[in-house]
Amino acid sequence: MTNIREADVDSRELMSSSYFAVRDKRAFLKFCKARGVMVSKAKRKPKLMGSGRSRDQELFSICSDDWNPDANYDVETGEELEIEFLTELCTHIQPGWIAIINSIANNQLFAIGGDAWALDSNGRREMVSTNDIHAKAEKMGGRYTPALWFEGQ
């Protein structure tokens, strides 16, 4: 068994999204740049899922290899912001579209967990977490240990 010292491994959070349409391309790109989030434009039309009509339009995805959803500051100026990232992202999503955000974090590789959100332009959110598996394991009736680090362990 390998012994990994804490100093050998960084803790960080990774994030990526589905492709989605935005209301204002320039405002969206400025928003992402200020928060240190990378943007990718779909090079070809991805498979569309869900309901609603779609027209040919630019679709974007976002990603980050050092993402903090709770960081409320501009990465370029250091200025503190009054709005939370996912809340503000909703204002950039074009009506009729849903952005799927996947996030995974690690704490020195000893704890890996993640969350996924579905967001729309009205600010509605649905979220699932890898922590949800513990409730499902409990229903199975056997013995288990938590797969993730929890406070108090």
Tokens of 82: 């009054």
Q: Which residues make beta-bridge pairs with 97?
A: none
pLDDT of residue 1: 43
pLDDT digits (tens, 9 = 90+) for 14-23: 899 999 999 9
Q: Is this model's pTM higher than 0.85 or not?
A: no
End-to-end Cα spacing for the chain:
22
pLDDT of residue 21: 95
pLDDT digits (tens, 9 = 90+) for 34-81: 888 999 999 887 777 877 766 678 999 999 987 766 666 676 777 776
pLDDT digits (tens, 9 = 90+) for 127-145: 999 888 888 888 998 888 8
pLDDT of residue 72: 65
Q: How confident is the model at residue 119 (pLDDT cuts 50, 70, 90)?
A: very high
Helix (H, G, I), strand (E, B) or coil at 137: helix
pLDDT of residue 99: 96
pLDDT of residue 47: 77
pLDDT > 90: percent of the chain: 42
pLDDT of residue 137: 86
Helix (H, G, I), strand (E, B) or coil at 8: helix
Q: Which residue has the higher pLDDT, 100 or 77?
A: 100
Burial 125-145, CB ≥16 within 10 A → b, else e: eeeeeeeeeeeeeeeeeeeee
